[in-house]
Amino acid sequence: MSDKKSYRDILRSSAIMGSANMLEYLVSLLRVKIVAILLGPAGIGLIGLYASVTSLLGTATGLGITSSGVREVAQAYSKDDQEEAARIVRILRRVCWCTGLAGWLVAIALAQTLSELLFESGEHAWAIGLLGSILLLSSISSGQKSILQGQRRIGDIARISVISMLLNTLITVGLYYWLREQGIVPVLVATAAVSLAVSFWFSRRISIAPLKISWQETLTRAKGLAGLGSAFMISALLTAGVDMATRSLITRDYGIEAAGLYQASWALSGLFAGFVISAMGTDFYPRLTAAIQDHATARQLVNEQTEIGMLLALPGLLGTLAFAPLVMSVFYSDSFLPAAELLPWFLLGVFGKVLSFPLGFIQLAMGAGRWFIITEVTTITLQMFMIFWMVPRFGIIGAAYAFALTYFFYTLLMLWTARQLIEFRWESGARKVFFAASLLISSSLASRLLLNEIGAIFFGTVILIAGAAFCIVELTKILGNEHRLSKFLNKMIPKTASRKL
């Protein structure tokens, strides 16, 4: 695989997922704005708490099957083993039904306890029990998407995302306009049902060999999926637990509106880097899985993904830093402006996330479950400690401090782990982009923290322009002048400027 072809494959998958996410963001801009006006910070906080509960229960009962299933499907298709591919697809679909039903039953059983834990009353128990149906709908939908992801059908995954988003926006706005806060539970259930229907429509196109699978074989293979899946589950369970504990701590100490401010800032922080992270999970993971036995190729893929990821995410991060209050006001409303103080620190953590995620996928591609569990438990334990130490001392911004520090530590840990597993090092291209991005983000963060609003916007805009120009020049070098994106980018920046940069 030539360097330029590999870079182009990464950029292509990022472009497909990025285009889908960009359309999703544009529609979400309207949806979130309307919901924020209709429900206010308290309503947004309640949505975040319900989502946190369902995420935690879904993680605990899902056993990480869909995540490990991606790896199994990717391996089967990389070997062109049609029989094995058909077997894993059928087994994965069956198991997702079983784990989804189990999740719903657990939600019903724990509804009263969770309501009292989160809200200090049992009045939300009925809602939590009903929201358990989401676990069944989401489990089946996630299984369908895992099959598509393992086959690297990026276009279908992007279409699912866009169509689901458009339909769910109509449902969300309509129900919230009609029912206001009483529409939260119906909206969450209805949107999960729509997402399942859309994923089913595309996954039914998958052609698999006719094969009968006994339930005995299903149980046997499910145990294998649950092996690596348990590592995913433990990590995701701890992550969901930290998220729910953070929201619960903020709600108890500062009120439901403070939880809404936290939710708004946390959601916006990943908005403009989300497509990069999404592309990593959607395309990079199965690609790395297929090549992981060749350590030299794996090192090359990780370096290339890191370099492209930073170049694509940097302008969005710098733009959000420069216009933090404006972005908060546009996406939500003026009542959410206090959340803008959290945004710079969440953005710092997101940069660490973009930087470290390609490294983290090495463990998953290798099936190194023990390594994955140890590194994830260590990191999440540290994050939990920092949250419970910082939030009482600094307020809700303490959660943002903890997020930034967690990903600083996680990046260092992943670099060390990757070196142990495949003797990984950042190559010159990735190091160059890292140092430039770090300097630009640090400068923008300093202007946001030290200057008044006008000064922060002015210097932030200058830094944004410089950062965008740098990314354009580097992408052009990577792709080659003959690539159509390079030709387009060259028209946007004078050649004299390119030479200076």
SS (H, E, C) 40-96: HHHHHHHHHHHHHHHHHHHHHHHCCHHHHHHHHHHHHHHCCCHHHHHHHHHHHHHHH
Question: Is the model more confident about 43 or about 229?
Answer: 43
pLDDT exceeds cutoff 80 at 342: yes
pLDDT exceeds cutoff 50 at 352: yes
Cα gap 394→310, rounded to integer Å: 30
pLDDT exceeds cutoff 80 at 22: no
Find the range with the poorest average confidence among 116-120, 171-175, 234-238, 479-483: 479-483
As a whole number, the mean pLDDT across the chain is 79
pLDDT exceeds cutoff 70 at 7: no
Cα gap 14→25, rounded to integer Å: 15
In terms of residues, how long is the chain? Answer: 501
The stretch 291-316 carries a mean pLDDT of: 87
pLDDT for the residue 17: 62
pLDDT exceeds cutoff 60 at 496: no
pLDDT exceeds cutoff 50 at 2: no
* Spatial CA neighbour of 246 closest among 54, 48, 47, 41: 48
Query: In the chain, what percentage of residues exceed pLDDT 90?
Result: 12
Question: Is the model more confident about 28 or about 424?
Answer: 424
pLDDT exceeds cutoff 50 at 202: yes
| Chain segment 216-231, per-residue pLDDT in tens | 777 777 676 666 666 6
Query: In the chain, what percentage of residues exceed pLDDT 70?
Result: 80
The stretch 172-193 carries a mean pLDDT of: 82
Indicate the pLDDT class of residue 20, thresholds 50, 70 and 90. low
pLDDT exceeds cutoff 90 at 1: no
pLDDT for the residue 501: 41
Reduced to 3 states (helix: H, G, I; strand: E, B; else coil), residue 328 is helix
